Amino acid sequence: MTPREKQAKLTNLMKTLSVSKEEAEEILQEDEEIDRGAKLYELSDDLKAGAKKARQADRKTPAKVNRERKVDEEKKFLLELLQAPLQDAGADALEMKTETEISFTYGENHYTLKLTKHRPPKG
């Protein structure tokens, strides 16, 4: 590091950290030692153990909560209304999957009607 670069770093440290020139020189010297691989500030064994436990706690997956699925009565009602006209038109094997879709055959083809309920727009 050139003397000009060193002076610029010292000035920057003094201004940024609001420290004296001596403190800035000490910080710069310790930074250079750390860059060379020196371990100036080792964690105590207690702190290392605590950090290890915290990392292990982060890895644990949260317990799965079994939530009861809510039946959308409005969608169920609408799909049930559609079943009668489909049967009248000659559709066979009407099967309702929960309250989301109806599967049926018409002629030799298999069809599925899926009902999607959209959320109201935000705003």
b/e 93-107 (16+ beta carbons within 10 angstroms → b):
ebebeebbebebeee
94 backbone dihedrals φ, ψ, rounded to 5°:
-70, 125
C-alpha–C-alpha distance, residues 83 and 60, integer Å: 47
What is the arithmetic mean of pLDDT over 64-83? 88
* Per-residue pLDDT tens digits for 13-58: 888 888 888 988 888 888 888 788 777 667 666 766 777 777 766 6
pLDDT level of residue 111 (50, 70, 90 thresholds): very high
C-alpha–C-alpha distance, residues 66 and 119, integer Å: 24
b/e 16-45 (16+ beta carbons within 10 angstroms → b):
eeeeeeeebbebbeeeeeeeeeeeeeeeee
Q: What separation in angstroms does the CA of 32 have from each of 15, 35, 42?
A: 19, 5, 16
Residue 115 pLDDT exceeds 80? yes
- For the chain, give percent helix, strand, coil, nearest 5: 50, 15, 35
In the chain, where are the structural domains located?
3-56, 73-114
